Amino acid sequence: MSRIGKKPVELPGGVSAQLSGQTIEVKGPKGTRSFTATDDVTLAVDGNVVTVTPRGTSKRARQQWGMARSMIANLVTGVTAGFKKELEIQGVGYRAAMQGNVLKLSLGYSHEVNFEVPAGVTVATPKQTEIVVEGIDQQIVGQVAANIREWRAPEPYKGKGIRYKGEYIFRKEGKKK
């Protein structure tokens, strides 16, 4: 039995949910998001509570039960508070700056990296060595942060590169003579 699926999703003030078939649309102060559930679960909106129940006892129905509930909870979180990923840049001469809709990264290459920020995501650089990615879709925010990090992932000897804030980098010892 799904323990997550049993829990109803509370809709805070200013958030409304509309159900049409298997698609639920959540509107809030930050925008509108929707999710289409599979036919293995039944969605129900009662006032300010959304509940998910499985249709049957098959393994797939139980899997979809918890997953659908988590997806709906993420929709509600996205339209109220939003999602945020913070990145840090470490390395001599490594820096980032926003110019319009383009993130310009100096990462020790012979050229500057220009990263086009996709729609639905905002990227800010409060300091030259910090990047903040924000948006209402958790998947897109995480993917954009991963794409930025991919340009220069932290290396294990000096720790130079782009890392998530608070990420631990396993350090290796260099050659010994």
Residue 170 CA to its chain's centroid (Å): 24
CA triple 23-135-170, angle to 5 deg: 115
pLDDT in tens, 114-125: 999 999 899 999
Residue 75 has pLDDT above 70, yes or no: yes
pLDDT in tens, 34-73: 999 999 999 999 989 999 999 988 999 999 999 999 999 9
Q: Which residues of 112-139 are buried (b: 16+ CB within 10 A; e: fewer)?
A: eeebebeeebebebeeeeebbbbbbbbe
User: What is the model's pLDDT at position 5?
Assistant: 86
CB-count burial class (<10 Å; 0-12, 13-18, 19+) for 95: middle
Instruction: Give me the domains of the chain, ranges plus CATH numbers.
Output: 3-80 (3.90.930.12), 83-164 (3.90.930.12)
Residue 162 has pLDDT above 90, yes or no: yes
Instruction: Return the H-helix or E-strand segment holding 6.
Output: helix 3-6
Instruction: Return the H-helix or E-strand segment holding 33.
Output: strand 31-36
3-class secondary structure, 169: coil
This prediction's pTM: 0.87
User: What is the model's pLDDT at position 176?
Assistant: 84
3-state secondary structure 83-142: EEEEEEEECCCCEEEEECCEEEEECCCCCCEEEECCCCEEEECCCCCEEEEEECCHHHHH
